[in-house]
């Protein structure tokens, strides 16, 4: 996923917000040694590729 990729989310109150998903994934990969085990497991279940 490109670093500049953004996702639009629909919130419970009906508004939308844009998140920088590409930046989050890039940062998580580069800091994978410090990602808590439980979070890493959840991200792996979502299909995050760590390599």
Tell me the per-residue pLDDT of 3-25, one tens digit each, with 9 for 90 and over. 999 999 999 999 999 999 999 98
DSSP secondary structure, 1-51, as one string: --TT--EEEE-TTS-EEEE-HHHHHHHHHHTGGGS-HHHHHHHHHTT----
pLDDT category at 49 given cuts 50, 70, 90 is confident
Look at residue 38 in the predicted model and tell me its pLDDT. 94
Look at residue 7 in the predicted model and tell me its pLDDT. 94
* pLDDT of 50 over the 80 cut: no
- CA 35 to chain CA centroid, Å, is 12
Euclidean distance between CA atoms 38 and 41, whole angstroms: 5
Strand partners, 34: none
Taking the alpha carbons at both ends of the chain, their separation in whole angstroms is 13
């Amino acid at each position: 996923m490109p670093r500049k990729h953004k996702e639009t989310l629909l919130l419970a109150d009906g508004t939308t917000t844009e998140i920088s998903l590409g930046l989050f994934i890039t940062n998580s990969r580069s800091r994978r040694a410090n990602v808590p085990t439980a979070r890493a497991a959840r991200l792996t279940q979502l299909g995050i590729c760590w390599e």
